Amino acid sequence: MKFTVSLNQNSEFRRVYSRGKSLATPLVVLYCRRNGMKLNRFGITVGAKIGHAVQRNRVRRRLREIYRLGEGRFSSGWDIVAVARTRAVGASYQELDEAFYHAAARLGVLKSPDGEAQK
């Protein structure tokens, strides 16, 4: 990911959860918050309720790849956390992709076609 750093610290995740905006879809919940930097920070949370490790890792890999392929569509300066929901395990890649970008568009973190942030 060229323009993105991973969120790693628990305190960073908690800050996004408590002070950020969120939008829930049946497959994923997306949290976002401005970070005051020129780059984005992205984190993924997949809880134990999702299933066994193989299922959790598959969902995590899919979400990471969805973000990586569309990284250029995001405006810069955001902390973004994707939380997988239990229905994400049975969802296809296409359904997960649509849910992720639907939530991102509604939260205003995607660039508009002219290159400016939506909102």
Tens-binned pLDDT, residue by residue, of the chain (119 aa): 677 889 889 999 999 999 999 999 999 999 999 998 899 999 999 999 999 999 999 999 999 999 999 999 999 999 999 999 999 999 999 999 999 999 999 999 998 765 555 55
Q: How far apart are CA 75 and CA 73, in angstroms?
A: 7
Domain-by-domain residue ranges, the chain? 4-107
The CATH class of 4-107 is: alpha beta
Is the entire prediction scored with pTM above 0.85? yes
Pairing of strands 40-45, 21-24: unpaired
